Structure 1
Amino acid sequence: MATTTNYQVTGMSCGHCEQSVRTEVSEIDGVTGVDVSAQTGHLSVTSEQPLDDAVVIAAVDEAGYAAVRS
């Protein structure tokens, strides 16, 4: 059963920002979908099983942004 978790990301301002976050988060094992918007700062992560928030936040950090679960 798929699980979707939402995060608020700060620091994004353009499509390149979105792509950077999407790329890093997509590399997490079990992730099946990533929806990210620089305009709203919203990130939705769909996965096969619940993910550790710290793993998602670390991936967003690797892309150069900050995230918190919303």
Structure 2
Amino acid sequence: LARYLETRVATLHESGVQDPSKALLLAALDITDELFRAREDKDKTAGDVGARLGALLTLLEQATPKPS
């Protein structure tokens, strides 16, 4: 994690942010934003998978003969 943060700070330094405190803060905010976006994507994907599984289950139930 520290190496990842250092890489982000270095990228900010290269883009013109010279104040180390500001670079650390911006990098931390960017990483936090990245985490929240990843969580949202994961939740959306889980919902999509759940919906597809439900649809498949319905199709299987319709295609399977009912016991008499």
Same fold (TM over 0.5): no
Greater percentage in helix: 2
**TM-score, normalisation: structure 1:** 0.30
**TM-score, normalisation: structure 2:** 0.31
Whichever of the two has the greater Rg, that structure is 2
Greater percentage in strand: 1
